[in-house]
């Protein structure tokens, strides 16, 4: 769904000039409901001048009246031919101030677990610059000692579908270039769903496989040793007590 231009300023105007619910405004402009509530409380967008969506051909008065009467009604952006293609942005993704401190950790995660991704792909995923990515790759970043790899999806910097698409694109490029890839690298290039659905790889036989039937002391099979009958007295070849008494008597004489 297309979003209006100057979303936050539009939300400011709707909060100040209409009785539309915070949820309806948040869905229309693409903000979080709590952020819209913060605008109403004066904690967010302080000093931002409202942007009239009616005067700027983004909403109609009839659409606003419908939303005021029905809390479940979703505002629809007015079609503007001049705005066609405006959503196609160029350059790195915009990252909110609250999440910018997490970008180096996300870059470190991508560099560590997806080294096949190009710098341009990483920059597009998390909204950073190529010099920053290069410094993290070379471990020359000023805060590299305190950084920890964290999944950018978990940080909210990108979507899982976007990450999977970038990984698949990198895999296709490697396949076109004819680069050899090992099993571990192939597994990395798979999407999350494909990787979880794979069967476990067969394990290589160990060096002692097949020797479990033999004893450790010799080459006799363990089963043959168990079938042998042993005389219990042969383990205890103790001298007879009567012989010991006779020896003592001879010594006493």
Q: Among residues 15, 32, 14, which one has the least CA distance to residue 23?
A: 32
Render the burial of 135-157: b for 16+ CB within 10 Å, e for the rest: bbbeeebeeeeebeebebbebeb
Q: What is the largest CA-CA distance in the chain?
A: 137
Is residue 136 within 8 Å of residue 144, measured between CB atoms?
yes
Which residues 6+ apart lie within 8 Å of 22 measured at CB?
Answer: 15, 33, 36, 37, 40
Single pTM value for the model: 0.39
DSSP state of 201: P
Please give the Cα distance from 45 to 216 (Å, whole number).
Answer: 78
Structure confidence at residue 180 (pLDDT): 46
Structure confidence at residue 137 (pLDDT): 92
Per-residue pLDDT tens digits for 88-99: 555 556 666 667
Query: In 127-197, which ranges are continuous DSSP H helix?
Result: 130-137, 152-155, 160-177, 183-189, 192-197
Reading the block at residue 131, the tokens are 């010099």
The more confident residue out of 157 and 189 is 157
Give the percent of the chain with pLDDT over 90. Answer: 15
Domain ranges of the chain: 7-83, 90-199
Per-residue pLDDT tens digits for 79-133: 655 545 545 555 556 666 667 788 999 999 999 999 889 999 999 898 888 999 9
Please give the Cα distance from 48 to 66 (Å, whole number).
Answer: 26
Backbone φ/ψ region at 147: left (φ over 0), alpha (ψ -120 to 50), beta? beta
């Amino acid at each position: 769904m297309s979003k209006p231009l100057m979303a936050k300023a539009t939300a400011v105007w709707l909060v100040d000039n209409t009785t539309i619910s915070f949820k309806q405004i948040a869905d229309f402009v693409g903000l979080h409901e709590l952020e819209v509530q913060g605008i109403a409380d004066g904690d967010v967008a302080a000093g931002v001048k409202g942007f009239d969506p009616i005067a700027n051909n983004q909403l109609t008065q009839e659409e606003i009246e419908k939303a005021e009467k029905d809390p479940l009604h979703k505002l629809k952006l007015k079609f503007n031919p001049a705005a066609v293609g405006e959503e196609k942005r160029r350059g790195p993704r915009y990252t909110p101030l609250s999440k910018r401190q997490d970008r180096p950790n996300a870059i470190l995660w991508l560099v560590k677990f997806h080294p096949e991704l190009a710098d341009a792909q990483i920059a597009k995923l998390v909204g950073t610059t190529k010099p920053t990515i290069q410094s993290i790759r070379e471990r020359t970043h000023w805060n590299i000692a305190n950084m920890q790899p964290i999944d950018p999806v978990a940080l909210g910097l990108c979507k899982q579908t976007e990450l999977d698409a970038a990984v698949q694109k990198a895999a296709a490029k490697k396949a076109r270039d004819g680069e050899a890839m090992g099993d571990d690298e192939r597994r990395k290039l798979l999407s999350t769903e494909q990787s979880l659905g794979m069967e476990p790889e067969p394990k290589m036989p160990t060096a002692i496989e097949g020797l479990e039937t033999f004893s450790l002391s010799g080459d006799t099979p363990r089963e043959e040793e168990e079938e042998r009958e042993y005389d219990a007295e042969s383990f205890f070849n103790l001298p007879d007590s009567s012989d010991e008494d006779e020896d003592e008597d001879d010594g006493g004489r």
